Structure 1
Amino acid sequence: MSGAVVAAARGWLGTPYRHQASVKGVGADCLGLVRGVWREVTGEEPETVPAYSADWAEVGGEETLLEAAGRWLKPVPLAAMQAGDVLLFRMSPGAAVKHCAILSDPGGPEPRMIHAYWGRAVVESWMGVWWRRRLAAVFRFPEEM
């Protein structure tokens, strides 16, 4: 499954960043990328994502993204993460989880991840110290639904 997840995520590389979108080659935000990969490897999305503003996590403060991940993905200890896992990040200490990515390569001195990056596109980038400090949770796609 992990190889299929990474291959699907790489198929989204270059998709422009578009808030709330989830259409390969047209537009996606970080959640839209994970949703699109879910559709490719697992099937129909399990729930409808409500509309959300760019500052949804700062305004509400609720763990909406973390709770949704917990409903549909399998939690994994940070030390056991592997390629294909979904990574959730807190952009500042004490803030709600707001950003997600897919781990593409856990090996080497710097892991790599695929994510939709505001102002750019879906990219594969190093998961440097800045990102590793903000990593809040790791989840794995289910084997079966």
Structure 2
Amino acid sequence: MSAGDDPAAVREAQRWLGTPYLHQASLRGVGCDCLGLVRGVWRGLYGVEPEAPPPYAPDWAEAGGQESFRDAARRHLREIVPSGAVAGDVLLFRFRPCAPARHCAILSGDGLMIHAHDGAVVAEVALTRWWRRHVAYAFAFPEAAHR
């Protein structure tokens, strides 16, 4: 995965740095979860969200066993090969083999991602080997150039 040239999605995600974690929220500076961060970046890029997410529990994906996160991403983003993801693309992670994806982040540069997780603030962190092993899907925002 290599860095792009400062795409709008990265600039928008960087505006969310320091936002506290708050389950199901999506309000910059107030609170968001990982999906809320991607939703907020979408609003920053396009305005209105294409659909409102249904209420979900912290373990929603694993409890249902369905790839609802992936399916929603496929409705609104362009699926790409994870190894071809560049800065500004969305990564979905699964934490156990055969479990549905249940976490997301925005790739922000070569070996970096921006994400929100429980007990922390939105942060830019290293896309370590552990994270890379857990990437299940990758998506580009609609305006991103074809790869």
Q: TM-score range by the shorter chain?
A: over 0.9
Partner of 1:118: 118
Shift of 1:2: 5.9
Partner of 1:93: 97
Partner of 2:50: 46
Partner of 2:108: 104
Deviations 1:85-111 (A, max 9, x none): 000000111110000000000x2xxx1
TM-score (norm 1): 0.93
Q: Is the 8 A contact 2:82 2:91 kept in 1?
A: no
Partner letter of residue 36 of structure 2? Answer: G
Shift of 1:80: 1.2
Deviations 1:49-102 (A, max 9, x none): 100011111210010000000000001112211100000000111110000000
Percent of paired sites with the same residue: 54
- The 2-side partners of 1:2 and 1:97 are apart by 27
- Tell me how large the CA RMSD over aligned residues is: 1.3
Partner of 1:127: 127
Gaps spanning 5+ residues in structure 2: where? none
TM-score (norm 2): 0.92
Deviations 1:22-66 (A, max 9, x none): 000000000000000000012210011100011111210010000
- The 2-side partners of 1:133 and 1:94 are apart by 13
Say yes or no: does 1:28 pair with 2:32: yes
- The 2-side partners of 1:129 and 1:68 are apart by 26
Aligned residues, how many?
A: 140
Deviation >6 Å, runs of 4+: none
Shift of 1:129: 0.8
| SS of equivalent residue, structure 1 residue 101 | strand
